[in-house]
Amino acid sequence: GESVGLHLPTLSVQEGDNSIINCAYSNSASDYFIWYKQESGKGPQFIIDIRSNMDKRQGQRVTVLLNKTVKHLSLQIAATQPGDSAVYFCAERPYNNNDMRFGAGTRLTVKP
C-alpha cells in the first residue's frame, strides 16, 4: 500500500553544522507536504510546508525540497542548534483528502 517513510530513524549532528532529514513517499497523488517537529512530551509542531507545484521553499533556517520525480522530500536545517533536537516527521496529503499520512519520524540529536 501507499506509505510515507523515512530513510534513517536517527541522525546525530554537531552544533553549528547543517542537518538534512529525508523522507520518501509513494503516493504520487499527494499534493501537499508538511514537516513537523516534536519535542519530548509535546505535540508535533508545524515547521514548514510545500505544495506539489513547488520544488523548494525556505523558512527561517529551514528549507524543504520536493522531488516529485523520485517522490522524495527533505528538510534542511541550517546551523543546527541544541534546541533543534527533536523528532521530525514528514506528512503527506493525498489529493482531495482531508487527512494527512505521517512518517514514523527521525530523531535528531545535536551534539555540543
Partner 1 sequence: DVKVTQSSRYLVKRTGEKVFLECVQDMDHENMFWYRQDPGLGLRLIYFSYDVKMKEKGDIPEGYSVSREKKERFSLILESASTNQTSMYLCASSNPGYEQYFGPGTRLTVT
Q: Among residues 2 and 15, whose Cβ is nearest to partner 1?
A: 2
Q: Among residues 63 and 102, whose Cβ is nearest to partner 1?
A: 102
Instruction: Give the Cα-Cα-Cα angle 63, 5, 14 (nearest 5 degrees).
Output: 50
Q: Among residues 14 and 45, whose Cβ is nearest to partner 1?
A: 45
CA contacts within 13 A on the Cβ side of 106: 25
Q: Where are the beta strands (DSSP E) in the chain?
A: 4-6, 10-14, 19-25, 30-38, 45-51, 56-58, 62-67, 72-77, 86-94, 101-102, 106-111
Nearest C-alpha neighbor of 8 from the set 102, 88, 106: 106
Q: Total number of residues binding partner 1 (CB under 8 A)? A: 20
Q: Which of residues 7-66 bind partner 1 (CB under 8 A)?
A: 32, 34, 36, 41-46, 49
Q: Cα separation of 29 and 10, whole Å?
A: 28
Q: Which of 85, 89, 108, 110 binds partner 1 (CB under 8 A)?
A: 89
Task: Compose the 93-112 pattern: x for residues touching partner 1 by CB under 8 A, - for all others.
Answer: x----xxx-xxxx-------
Q: Among residues 46 and 82, whose Cβ is nearest to partner 1?
A: 46
Q: Residues interacting with partner 1, by CB under 8 A?
A: 32, 34, 36, 41-46, 49, 89, 91, 93, 98-100, 102-105
